[in-house]
A and B are shown apart, each in its own frame.
Chain A
Amino acid sequence: DAGVIQSPRHEVTEMGQEVTLRCKPISGHDYLFWYRQTMMRGLELLIYFNNNVPIDDSGMPEDRFSAKMPNASFSTLKIQPSEPRDSAVYFCGVRLIYGYTFGSGTRLTVV
């Protein structure tokens, strides 16, 4: 689905390194979400934005995680420093008039 483009698709990094995940959503959305998917916890909502403004970041696990949305067509999720337990698939999604659409996720592996 070209509606939300996430990059990179896969990321392998060493513990302690900074990781930046990127999301380019289709236009016309009002909300943008970042989710983390693991086998143990399923899909966890980390943070979401409304019209580029962060609304709720209570799902962000630690201060090592931060997210920005400088404009309607771009958002980032940064982890600094990364740890092995951050290994997961990270999804970006948006709400449009007709419903939600998601990117294909970034699989992050921290070794």
Chain B
Amino acid sequence: AQTVTQSQPEMSVQEAETVTLSCTYDTSENNYYLFWYKQPPSRQMILVIRQEAYKQQNATENRFSVNFQKAAKSFSLKISDSQLGDTAMYFCAFMSSSNTGKLIFGQGTTLQVKP
């Protein structure tokens, strides 16, 4: 069974600085998708970025980028120029490409951006 692990329960960063959130996963599959979701206090789950395992190029969305290391099964999220609005819980998630549709989440990392 696939598992997703986020080893940092809480992190903090100064506004305008850069922070990296860690995620590792376990799977025997070769094709899959990885996601980072943001959950602000409103509880809404917001997709931040996604990565297809067959793509070697790391995904980037404005200030958000990932470091995808397939062999190491690592998928970290880098937030550059942190803003107060980035304060939220961040979840790493895995989806198999075998069309089960199931999305498996990590435990989450609470990020606090300090002014």
**Which positions in A face B, CB cutoff 8 Å?**
1, 30-31, 33, 35, 41-43, 45, 48, 50, 55-56, 89, 91, 93, 95, 99-102, 104-105, 107
* A45 interface neighbour in B43, B47, B102, B108, Cβ under 8 Å: B102
Tell me the smallest distance from the CB of B38 to a CB of chain A, in Å: 12
Residues of B86-115 at the interface with A, using a CB-CB cut-off of 8 Å, are 91, 100-108
User: In the complex the two chains form, is A100's CB within 8 Å of B43's CB?
Assistant: no
Which chain A positions have C-beta within 8 A of B105? Answer: 35, 42-43, 45
Q: Once bound together, how far apart are the Cα atoms of A105 and B50, in whole Å?
A: 22
**Which positions in B face A, CB cutoff 8 Å?**
35, 42-45, 47, 50, 91, 100-108
User: In the complex the two chains form, is B44's CB within 8 Å of A1's CB?
Assistant: yes
User: In the complex the two chains form, is B103's CB within 8 Å of A104's CB?
Assistant: no
Contact A48:B101 (CB < 8 A) given known A42-B106, A43-B91, A99-B50: yes
Give the residue among B47, B103, B104 with the most A Cβ atoms within 10 A: B103
| CB<8 Å pairs between A and B, sample of 17 | A31-B101, A33-B103, A42-B91, A42-B106, A45-B102, A45-B103, A45-B105, A50-B101, A95-B103, A100-B35, A100-B103, A101-B45, A102-B44, A102-B45, A104-B42, A104-B44, A105-B43
User: In the complex the two chains form, is A100's CB within 8 Å of B108's CB?
Assistant: no
Main secondary structure of the interface of B (DSSP, over half): loop
Which chain A positions have C-beta within 8 A of B104? Answer: 45
Q: Once bound together, how far apart are the Cα atoms of A35 and B47, in whole Å?
A: 16
User: In the complex the two chains form, is A42's CB within 8 Å of B45's CB?
Assistant: no
Q: Once bound together, how far apart are the Cα atoms of A104 and B42, in whole Å?
A: 7
Which chain A positions have C-beta within 8 A of B106? Answer: 42
Nearest opposing residue in chain B for A30, CB measure:
B101
Give the residue among A41, A42, A105 with the most B Cβ atoms within 10 A: A42
Q: Once bound together, how far apart are the Cα atoms of A99 and B51, in whole Å?
A: 12
Tell me the smallest distance from the CB of A88 to a CB of chain B, in Å: 12
Tell me the smallest distance from the CB of B25 to a CB of chain A, in Å: 14
Contact A93:B45 (CB < 8 A) given known A30-B101, A31-B101, A45-B102: yes
